[in-house]
Amino acid sequence: MSKRKYTHVEGTSFALTLIPKRATNRKEDVQHLFCHRLTTTAPVTILDAKAKLETEGLHVCCNNAHSLWIAASVRDMGAGIKFSDDACSLIWNSSRWVAVFPAKGLLTYEIPGSLPELVSVITAVYASYRRTGSPLKDVFKQVVPDAEHYLVGRSPLPV
């Protein structure tokens, strides 16, 4: 029987539940992150997710019917251009939802999951980000257990 690790994020009504799976070499089999909202119903559609994230005080823009751009702070650069140093995305990728967070350099953290799970992860990461003021890539590693398993991309070649 596997052990469960529970991490409650202070100031929120979220808990992250990490359930280790059998060990294999496949990244998605190493472990799966389950998140759940403790007090409210889960979002079912992308518009539900947008509304839920906005109630948490986040700026949310629909890129299209299958993706959201999410940020804690936004600067207007003029001509309708918005800029943020702390943005992430929620994307429908072929057959699953993926939350994409910035990592070091050209790398990203990409977590697959259900829409409710990912909205919970995003909300928990931003709650900690606001509380600590640390860079989003560092906060992600503090909130999501074994964050390095979700790294995607490759570092540029040294010059």
The average pLDDT across 119-129 equals: 96
Q: Would 159 be classed as within a structural domain?
A: no
**Local structure of residue 156 (DSSP, 8 states):** P
Supply the range of the domain harboring residue 124: 5-152
- One-letter-per-residue 3-state SS of 94-142: CCEEEEEEECCCCCEEEEEECHHHHHHHHHHHHHHHHHHCCCHHHHHHH
With 80 as the cut, is the pLDDT of residue 139 above it?
yes
For residues 122 and 124, what is the distance between their CA atoms, to the nearest angstrom? 5
Stated pTM of the model:
0.70
Q: Would 93 be classed as within a structural domain?
A: yes
| Predicted confidence band of residue 4 (pLDDT cuts 50, 70, 90) | very low
Regarding beta strands 67-71 and 75-78, do their DSSP bridges make them parallel or antiparallel, or are they unpaired? unpaired
Q: Would 66 be classed as within a structural domain?
A: yes
Q: Would 33 be classed as within a structural domain?
A: yes
pLDDT of residue 129: 96
Q: Would 158 be classed as within a structural domain?
A: no
Domains contained in the chain, number: 1
pLDDT of residue 126: 97
pLDDT of residue 81: 87
pLDDT of residue 56: 95
Q: Would 135 be classed as within a structural domain?
A: yes
The average pLDDT across 48-70 equals: 93
The average pLDDT across 69-96 equals: 91
Q: Would 157 be classed as within a structural domain?
A: no
Sign of CA dihedral 139, 141, 144, 145: negative
The amino acid at 99: A
The average pLDDT across 62-78 equals: 91
With 50 as the cut, is the pLDDT of residue 146 above it?
yes
Q: Which of 38, 36, 42, 62 is nearest to 50 (CA)?
A: 62
pLDDT tens-digit map of 9-33: 443 333 443 433 334 343 343 233 3
pLDDT of residue 44: 80
pLDDT of residue 159: 54
For residues 125 and 73, what is the distance between their CA atoms, to the nearest angstrom? 14
For residues 36 and 25, what is the distance between their CA atoms, to the nearest angstrom? 27
The amino acid at 43: P
